[in-house]
Structure 1
Amino acid sequence: MTSFTERTKATLRETLLDAAADLLPDRGHQGLRMADVAAKAGVSRQTVYNEFGSKAALTQAVALRVAAEFLDGIRCRFEDAESLLTGIRGAVVYTIEHARENRLIAAALGTEAGEDLLPLLTSRGEPILTAAADLAAGQYLALEPRLTPESAALLAETVVRLSLSHLVLPTHSASEAADSILAVLAPAIDQFVHNGVKREGQS
């Protein structure tokens, strides 16, 4: 495959994902039709099937692209952080604020059409949640090397799940949610760091 062909194929895929992402918030997964995605993108329905194979695969691809955008944003917050706690806080605030502004996620959390999109973030969203937790764990270790990989992974999974709970049940602002998550995690982080230092002293 030539580089021109690769670029053309990538552009087509992005065009189809853009079309699906624009339709999904109003129609949900069940109401989305491949023919409508094709019409919006200006291609044939067969072209959509050739690229993604099924409507489920197309919807999942849209969700994974949204997740990639979030992961890039989270990575930037950690890279600019002065400490582990400020990095976690910045990442949580960004995640919640960006999610509430994203049409697809807002629909999944708050509209009738989005009810069948919610599992992409929860029960069927394991690849997305795992990617977010893996990224966070790596950033935690970079900012606080006294953590063990196991404790970093546990902290990261906890932050991801708590952040998701604040998205599903939005009773606080993003800043308030981040502060409450840190209030719970700060003592645990101190304990993990202390245990890590203790083990180093014993070795």
Structure 2
Amino acid sequence: MTDLTRALLSAAADLLAAHGFRRLRMSDVATRAGVSRQTVYNEFGNKERIVQAVAQYKTEEFLDGVRERLAGTPDRLGAVRAAVEFVFDMASRDPLTNSVLSGTHAEDMLPLVTTRGHPVLTAGTAVFLEHVRLHWPSLPAEQAELIAETVVRIIISHLLTPRHDGVHAVVTVTTALLT
């Protein structure tokens, strides 16, 4: 990813968090990134594409952190806990994620993790599936896939409807599925 693309995605993410999809303007993205409006159009084509790119960019940002925690924690269930803690912490600190999940300013972005959330679910499942296959190699492929997808669905559910200890809930369910 080029520095220009990163700057445009960052600018668009900030503006989406503050104003949502309906009030996002390509000229505002350009101004915030310090480029011409035409540069934004040349890079992304239209508003829908830049929003899709922001969603992918933010998803990858989350998943990079998840991968780091899964790989960097020696205990296989401890790694799941560390990864889930990271997701919840980042979601609480990231303005766009917070806005999307709470419906503040970006309520029109909620479908990116609900009705149009398949790309997020698929990418997250792939990351957790890699961890499950590595640490529980004797599991049948279908069971490993079900566990990975269930973990991601529970994480998303707790992000959308927080409870007092979502991390504990996710780790408890993961443990139950693996035993």
TM-score range, shorter chain: over 0.9
- The residue type equivalent to 1:157 in the other structure is E
Please list, as runs of the form range in 1=range in 2, the aligned pairs for 1:14-29 lying within 5 A after superposition. Answer: 14-29=6-21
Please report how far the alpha carbon of residue 93 of structure 1 lies from its aligned counterpart in structure 2 after TM superposition.
Answer: 1.3
Please report how far the alpha carbon of residue 83 of structure 1 lies from its aligned counterpart in structure 2 after TM superposition.
Answer: 3.3
- The residue type equivalent to 1:73 in the other structure is G
> Aligned match of 1:161 in 143, 153, 162?
153
- The residue type equivalent to 1:183 in the other structure is T
- The residue type equivalent to 2:35 in the other structure is V
Q: Check if 1:129 corresponds to 2:121.
A: yes
Tell me the number of residue pairs that the alignment of Structure 1 and Structure 2 aligns.
179
Which consecutive aligned stretches of 4+ in structure 1 deviate over 6 angstroms post-superposition? none
Structure 1 unpaired stretches of 5+: 1-6, 191-203
Please report how far the alpha carbon of residue 148 of structure 1 lies from its aligned counterpart in structure 2 after TM superposition.
Answer: 2.1
Conserved 8 A contact 1:27-1:113: yes
Please list, as runs of the form range in 1=range in 2, the aligned pairs for 1:98-137 lying within 5 A after superposition. Answer: 98-137=90-129
TM-score by length of 1: 0.83
In 1, distance between residues paired with 2:65 and 2:162? 21
In 1, distance between residues paired with 2:50 and 2:106? 16
2:177 equivalent in structure 1: 188
SS of structure 2 residue aligned to 1:113: coil
Please report how far the alpha carbon of residue 50 of structure 1 lies from its aligned counterpart in structure 2 after TM superposition.
Answer: 1.1
In 2, distance between residues paired with 1:78 and 1:112? 31
1:79 equivalent in structure 2: 71
Residues 76-111 of structure 1, C-alpha deviation per residue, up to 9 Å, x if partnerless? Answer: 111123333222222111111111111100000124
Conserved 8 A contact 1:16-1:48: yes
In 2, distance between residues paired with 1:12 and 1:77? 29
Structure 1 residues 180-189 or 38-47, which shifts more? 180-189
Q: Check if 1:171 corresponds to 2:163.
A: yes
1:148 equivalent in structure 2: 140
1:193 equivalent in structure 2: none
> Aligned match of 1:32 in 13, 24, 40?
24
Larger-gyration structure (1/2): 1
TM-score by length of 2: 0.93
SS of structure 2 residue aligned to 1:30: coil
Q: Which has the higher helix share?
A: 1
